[in-house]
Structure 1
Amino acid sequence: MLFSVVPLLSMFTAALHEQGTSPSGIEWPANPQWHNFIDAWQVADVTPLLISSILLVLGVVPVGVLLATMAGYGLGQLRVPGGAIFFVLLLLGLTLPREATIVPIYYQIRDMGLLNTKLGLILVLIGLFMPFSVFWMRAHFVTMPQELGEAAAMDGAGAWQSFVRIQVPLAVPAMASLALLLFLWTWNTFLEAIVLIDDPTQRTMAGALQNFVGLHSTDIVLLNAGALLIMAPTIVAFLFFQRHFIKAMISGSVKG
């Protein structure tokens, strides 16, 4: 916790100093400059990037969680034919560096006519996050007793009814934690955004920090204020979902 809190506290105190100064360590200023956060917001032009990031999150997270949950259920509970081979091929996606795939992704999106569009970036991010997402949800469904599905089948429920009425309610912690991870990854997306979208105002919040550094590379105060503004939504999201995240992390050991 100290490794996480101390840097944030240092950034927060530095962001309250006089602009143009170089704060060192954790030092509360005699006259806190709260307007630095407003100045950083305006200088970095955060508003359009905030809207862009929100739209991107709304497009990636729900679809990613839905597809991963359905795939994880199929691989973990239904034991579909060829599922093991498909799962191994899917895991190979975790071994590929994102930097190595960006060039072929660029040409594929260009050939699809989706370059410089939100839809193109959303599809790319869903695809890039899917190997881990399916692995995460499959790990949950594998721990679910097969007797649940058998009991549902004896009551006349099909695979889809068993999935919606029994498996999904039990998978809420895993789904919530996956949604948190997808939110963090989407919010912090930088490489795919700058490659696939030319308009800087249509990229992500991570791009705001890059633009800010280019404009004010020597103003440590505004740099810290801008970084805190960009990090704030991810911190709030983690605090909101942390209980589900921890519950999903330990559920396997509890059931084992």
Structure 2
Amino acid sequence: MISRRERALSYAILIVFAALATLPLIGVLTSALAPRSQSSASFSWPDRLDWGNFSEAWAEGHFATYLASSVLVTVSVVLLTAVLAILAGYSFAHFTYPCRSLLFYTTLIGLMVPPEAFVIPLYFNLRSLGLTDSYWSLILPQTAQSLAFGIFWMRNFFRSVPSSVIEAARLDGASDWRVLWQILVPSGRPALVTMAMLVFMWTWNEFLLPLVMITNESKRTAPLGLAFFQGEHTTQFSLLAAASVIVALPVVILYVFLQRHFISGMLSGAVKG
């Protein structure tokens, strides 16, 4: 039984860490809403709020184009990763075939290799195929990067499903394909949402691959566009803060709407190793 003092101490610690996490966000928001005359790199509360910084940053930074590119790349990566991770995870969890464990652990090597280690040879390989400066040069590598985690995550979820559920479905005449898509996938929505959100955030925030692969301005993603915008407005802190909020907002909105599934999946999506 937790005593009142222990509960109060726990809440106090949580409040302190929440304040530490929230304070930088408040600083960015106040800077984004500060008038040009009060724009500063340090934290300060403006006398009035200037919402025009967002429209100005949006227009000058061409963020409509950059966000459209990011949405296209990110949604494509999430969908491809989800489908391939479901198929591979189900295979590793419930099928028996030679070298299954070896293949699985070989796949996990992808979790240990940083993108910086292969981005240069990857660039030359994609250039030889004529794929650089295209959306495929972002979608295919980032799908491959996310697959190791996705397969690991979905395999653990499928292994956590009681075998009696699968056996009962097969006794009723359900094929493996039907068991997967009509029984396991619907029941694994929290785990799927968690995986999709993590892949979404990783893909949305990716900077190195677009920097190396993309030279066409119309195909720049939002983080890359923000970096170029920062280079052009180095001392205009209000515009930089407003642009940062614009780029981060889709991830925040997605998390707000899906946080219940995200937390549920984090708690139960990877029960078994």
- TM-score, normalised to structure 2's length? 0.88
Q: How many Å apart are 1:62 and its aligned residue?
A: 1.0
What is the percent sequence identity of the aligned residues? 36
Aligned residues of 2:93 and 2:158 also touching (Cα < 8 A): yes
- RMSD of aligned residue pairs (Cα, Å): 1.8
Aligned residues of 2:74 and 2:204 also touching (Cα < 8 A): yes
In structure 1, distance between residues paired with 2:64 and 2:23: 28
SS in 1 for 2:118: helix
Aligned residues of 1:40 and 1:222 also touching (Cα < 8 A): yes
Aligned residues of 2:65 and 2:218 also touching (Cα < 8 A): yes
Matched residue, 2:225? 208
Name the amino acid aligned to 1:208: G
After superposition, the C-alpha distances for 1:37-91 in whole angstroms (9 at most, x for unaligned) are 1111122121111111111122111111111111111111224432211111011
Name the amino acid aligned to 1:10: G
Aligned residues of 2:108 and 2:148 also touching (Cα < 8 A): yes
Name the amino acid aligned to 1:214: G
- TM-score, normalised to structure 1's length? 0.94
Superposition map of 1:141-220 within 5 A: 141-220=158-237
Mapped pair 1:22 → 2:40: yes
In structure 2, distance between residues paired with 1:202 and 1:49: 7
In structure 1, distance between residues paired with 2:56 and 2:21: 26
Mapped pair 1:113 → 2:117: no
Aligned residues of 2:153 and 2:269 also touching (Cα < 8 A): no
SS in 2 for 1:105: helix
Which ranges in structure 1 are unaligned for 5 or more consecutive residues?
A: none
Q: How many Å apart are 1:252 and its aligned residue?
A: 5.5
Aligned residues of 1:188 and 1:204 also touching (Cα < 8 A): no
Aligned residues of 2:160 and 2:271 also touching (Cα < 8 A): no
In structure 1, distance between residues paired with 2:173 and 2:110: 38
Which ranges in structure 2 are unaligned for 5 or more consecutive residues?
A: 1-17
**Aligned residue pairs: how many?**
255
Q: How many Å apart are 1:138 and its aligned residue?
A: 1.1
In structure 2, distance between residues paired with 1:172 and 1:6: 33
Q: How many Å apart are 1:111 and its aligned residue?
A: 2.0
Identify which of 67, 71, 77 aligns with 1:54: 71
Matched residue, 2:10? none
Runs of 4+ off more than 3 Å: 252-256
Superposition map of 1:84-123 within 5 A: 84-123=101-140
